[in-house]
Amino acid sequence: MAKIIIHKAESRGHANHGWLDTYHTFSFANYYNPNRVHFGALRVLNDDRVDPGRGFGTHPHENMEIVSIPLEGDLEHKDSMGNVSVINHGDIQVMSAGTGIYHSEYNKNKETYVKFLQIWVFPRVQNVEPRYDQISLNVADRHNKLQQIVSPNPDDEGVWIHQDAWFHLGKFDKGFSAEYKIKKDGNGVYAFVLNGSFSINGEELNTRDGMGIWDINSISVKAITQDAELLLMDVPMDIGEEE
């Protein structure tokens, strides 16, 4: 029988640092909830808004797959591998931190906010060579269907990570339904509503609500509102020892 857990938007951890307004679905920084440390291999789901001209100074990461999804505005990235780039809506950025990297992220625009999701996934292998990649996808390709943005395979659509995980984005018309089949035995899906409302396996979710579901082969999604947007993260549930 399927197992589910629902995280309503208002139940997330929240911190407003002035320049950064951030919500944490899972324990992060000063927010700790022993019941919300991770969902399988999904460790961090941060919903960030960065003020004009501000950003994250240079800081380290290691042994984590980090995916950034810009929602509004432009985010400039610099790292210790020599990469300098700007990501905006429609782009997907990935870093395999592996043996260790340093990077910074800034909103270079002096007038508008940057809004983006930063997602951390536990890797299936430790101490890989650090890597960086980003791609631009056609947002129209997710209209009334699920567009793959992350996979374990460098030859598949989207960016790839060192984990048996698949991410999809979809933007649906009101009343549109879709079925998503779990990619690998032992995986579960964490659904995160970006905008609007959905019914997912009969459970109603609204903007910024999240739901994890596992011990199931597929899930059904139906848009309750027009232009409803959804992120599905299909990840292994068994990651070995608890952190």
The 10s digit of each residue's pLDDT in 134-154 is: 999 999 999 999 999 999 999
Tell me if 241 is assigned to some domain: no
Q: Is 242 part of a structural domain of the chain?
A: no
Residue 80 lies in a domain: yes
Is residue 121 included in any domain, yes or no?
yes
pTM metric for this prediction = 0.96
Range of the domain at 34: 3-236
Which CATH number characterizes residue 103's domain? 2.60.120.10
Q: Is residue 125 part of a domain?
A: yes
**Predicted pLDDT of residue 234:** 98
pLDDT above 80: residue 205: yes
- Tell me, letter by letter, the H, E, C secondary structure of the chain: CCEEEEECHHHCEEEECCCEEEEECCCECCECCCCCCCECCEEEEEEEEECCCCEEEEEEECCCEEEEEEEECEEEEEECCCCEEEEECCEEEEEECCCCEEEEEECCCCCCCEEEEEEEECCCCCCCCCEEEEEECCHHHHECCEEEEEECCCCCCCEECCCCCEEEEEEECCCCEEEEECCCCCEEEEEEEEECCEEECCEEECCCCEEEEECCCEEEEEECCCCEEEEEEEEECCCCCCC
Query: What is the number of structural domains in the chain?
Result: 1
Band the pLDDT of 1: cuts 50, 70, 90: confident
In a domain, 96, yes or no: yes
What is the reported pLDDT for 214? 98
6-10, 13-17, 87-91: range with lowest mean pLDDT = 87-91
Q: Is residue 243 in a domain?
A: no
